[in-house]
Amino acid sequence: MHYHWTTGSSFYGMLTGACPECWSQFIQPGISAKRFYTVGPPSYILNDDNIWNNHVEIVNSCRTVNWVYGFQFFSYGSWKDRDYWNEAASTFFGKKTKIRDANLHLDTIPASPQISILKIDSLNYSLTITPDASANINQWFAAYRSTDDIFDLNSDKIISISFGDSQFTLDENFTGEQDHNGTYRYAATMLDRYWNESLISNMVLTDSIPSFPPKVISSTPSEGDTVGVTTQLKLNFSKTLDIATVTVNAFTFTPSIGISSLAFSSSNKTITIVTSSNFNFQTDYTLFIDSTVTDVNEKMLDGNGDGIPGDSYVLHFSTVAQDLSGPIVTQTFPDSISSSGSFDVEGVVTVLFHELVNSVTINHNNVILKAGASAISKDMQLKTIDNQSIINIKTQQALLNNTQYSLTLNQNITDVIGNPMPSNQEIIFTTSEQSYSQKTTIDDFSATGNWQQPEYSGSTEGIIDSGTSSGYTTAYYLPATTPAQGFFIQYQWNPSATTKLLREYLSGGTPRNVIFDTSYILQVYVWGDGSGNKFRFAIDEGDGTNWPNHEVSKWIVIDWHGWRLVEWNLKDPSSVGIWIGNGVLDYPKYRIDSFQMTDAPGSSLYGRIYVDNLRLAKKSIVSGIEPEQQGLPNDFVLYQNYPNPFNPSTKIRWQSPISSWQTLRIYDVLGNEVATLVDEYKPAGKYEVEFTASGGLASGVYYYQLQVGDFILTRMMIFLK
């Protein structure tokens, strides 16, 4: 079954609830023939979208569809990362089950086995199941347990599914923490190779099983812990509680703090205490739970765990000293020193804090990007890395080349408890002297393509398959771009492997058909995980029809967090790495083969990176008006205006390789048209106009946009009076 849905209701609708556009409409012959169908919940998508808990509702909703008989989870390592096995077993996979009859071969009903019981002590029994004498080959045996005299093979609990042809025993052990306070009954059946089930065997029963009083088996915080003032206390009990006896009045804090409510788990074995206010800083607290709290068998609380009911539970904990310091910036890209003059005009600004910040305070009033005195429109993304906040900032339009910018972080940015930054912080940087003259998208990852799983490639080695995967995600994508979707590469290295290489291979599709030569720069935005592992591009080389060789870029160490523009200048012979080619770009044509990763000394054994906006680019240095070149142009180019900033006049140059209607307009930062400089048909060629700001034009940022047919280029300029 499909796996793109992420809620229980959407899965149910896809299966049968939204007919006629549902699966059941198209598989009726299979349903009528009682074929087995399984559903595939998208665990890796639930993980990426931070809705992991939707697993329970998806499974429970799908189980209401009478032709669904199992599940296959698209995990790609997410179950392992979250160590989800035990939690899944205790929630939606808490029961043993049998396969229904396959409806393929209807034999006579199998012979019933016999069952006997032996009491070891009051909590432990031994069951013996003996096959019928006619069972001379291996068969399946199901052992059932019931709390009443009537066995229902469709609802009573299966305690064992076994396979064999001879007598065997089962140990039935109780802890005294079961909710049933009485006797249990047991019976067994035999199932043949087609899962046809026998009639039920004879029935045996236990004596009344002791049920011990409830006690607290764990708590958050634990006894003697020191916690934050916003902590919510959670208590796990050994028995199902009678919630009618669990009231706010049964809980008392010293020093006193109000309790607004109690939240119960679905099993009524876990209580979360919601206080009406935060705890005080640097204070010793004691929690008392009254002994009047009982379980469903009316047994009172065993507060001290001595097995005797009727005493209160006591928990001691302390709170941390007051945090009086606000968030501190620990890392920026670019910074004010090493990155000056090298920041790409389409780069991403990154700010990392030492703690979590209040997301409400990350706004355009508190994070201000300026060129001179003019604020620049931008897009911001706030993410969390290892309990630290990181901001990624990118503008919709390219920044000006060779221009100084400032990013101001206002003191009003606070941490999650309201502490502001110590002071305003300003990051000053200068952009590169290069501007873009051409960009061609290879893959913006907006639609599912032909990027294969890493283990698909025979070149991939030294990974652990269960922890290595790739796929599309809407949780991480490049700021200021649409659509809001990126691509992840998750990796886990085998520590015993001597060679490690992950090849994220592109097997086909439109991106694979983008052909280029060495006049381009190959670029992709990479969200780094700071792992110290390495990343590179791999390309095919050939004549455009045959692709005999592969070449790679040199390795790039992923030593950053957040988005970073990574590029390979194909013009530079020294930028070529070594793989299975000759290390020389000596063919006329190239296309994308893969992204590749490997480890490095001291790098992390596992992690996840994201990529977005794989493209080709050409850049040029624009320091003023370039001299006229002979002949017709080959590319569309809109040059940077000169001078810039300007007052009151500046010159704008462009070139077009085609004859077409051409417009050149000026806009303010709100998108309002300020002036139309060109609006006429022009032959292919190179052109220049002068723009003079009128007396009423305010200082600030403006955009000039060239449109030639369907081709549009936009640049930014600054008017300073």
Q: What is the pLDDT of residues 594-609, one digit of tens each?
A: 999 999 999 999 999 9
Token pair listed for 596: 């590749």
Chain mean pLDDT for the chain: 90
E runs forming strands in 276-358: 284-289, 313-319, 329-333, 349-353
The DSSP 8-state label assigned to residue 511 in this structure reads: G
Both tokens of residue 93?
């996979």
Assess whether pLDDT exceeds 60 at residue 45.
yes
Look at residue 198 in the predicted model and tell me its pLDDT. 93
CB 614 within 8 A of CB 595: no
Looking at the predicted structure, is the pLDDT value of residue 629 above 60? no
| pLDDT(506) > 80 | yes
pLDDT at 104 (0 to 100): 64
165 close to 135: Cβ distance less than 8 angstroms: yes
| Strand order, beta sheet including 139-146 | 157-164, 139-146, 185-191, 204-205
How much is the average pLDDT of 38-54? 86
Residue 718 CA to residue 699 CA, distance in Å, equals: 8
Strand-strand pairing, 521-529 and 606-621: antiparallel
Domain 438-620 top-level CATH class = mainly beta
> pLDDT per residue over 97-134, tens digit each?
888 776 666 667 899 999 999 999 999 999 999 999 98
Is the CATH number 1.20.1250.20 carried by domain 114-205?
Answer: no
Q: Is 503 helix (H, G, I), strand (E, B) or coil?
A: strand
The DSSP element (H or E) to which 719 belongs, if any, is strand 711-719
Task: Say how far apart CA 481 and CA 7 lie, in whole Å.
Answer: 27
pLDDT digits (tens, 9 = 90+) for 314-368: 999 999 998 888 999 999 999 866 556 689 999 999 999 999 999 999 999 999 9
Residue 142 pLDDT more than 90?
yes
- Please report which confidence band the pLDDT of residue 170 belongs to, taking 50, 70 and 90 as the band edges: very high
Using 50, 70 and 90 to split pLDDT, how confident is the model at 620?
confident
Res 627: pLDDT: 38
Whether residue 424 is predicted with pLDDT greater than 50 in this model: the reply is: yes
Every domain of the chain and the residues it spans: 8-90, 114-205, 216-319, 329-432, 438-620, 622-719
pLDDT at 105: 63
The answer for residues whose C-beta is within 8 angstroms of residue 600's C-beta and 6 or more apart is 532, 533, 534, 557
pLDDT surpassing 70 at residue 4: no
Q: Which residues pair with 128 in a beta bridge?
A: 116, 169
The predicted structure's pLDDT at residue 102: 66
Tell me which residue of 63, 180, 184 sits closest to 125, measured CA to CA. 184
Burial of 132 (0-12, 13-18, 19+ CB in 10 A): middle
For the chain, give the percent of residues with pLDDT over 90: 62
pLDDT at 511: 95
**What would the CATH number be for the domain defined by 216-319?**
2.60.40.3710
What are the angstrom distances between the C-alpha of 114 and each of 127, 135, 204?
A: 10, 12, 10
Any idea what DSSP says for residue 608? E
Look at residue 709 in the predicted model and tell me its pLDDT.
Answer: 83
What SS3 class is residue 9?
A: helix
Inform me whether the pLDDT recorded for 630 exceeds 60: no
Q: What is the pLDDT of residues 556-569, one digit of tens each?
A: 999 999 999 999 99
Please give the pLDDT value at position 492. Answer: 94
pLDDT (0 to 100) of residue 718: 86
Amino acid symbol at 676: T
Determine the average pLDDT of the residues in 156-185: 93
pLDDT given for residue 338 in this prediction: 58
Q: Which fold has domain 329-432?
A: Immunoglobulin-like (2.60.40)
Instruction: State how far the Cα of 558 lies from the Cα of 141, in Å rounded to an integer.
Output: 55
**What's the whole-number mean pLDDT along residues 87-102?**
81
Query: Would 114-205 and 438-620 be classified into the same CATH topology?
Result: no
What dotted CATH number matches 622-719?
A: 2.60.40.1930
Residue type at position 709: G
Q: Is it the case that residue 433 has pLDDT exceeding 90?
A: no
Does residue 238 have a pLDDT over 90? Answer: yes
- pLDDT at residue 624, as a whole number: 42
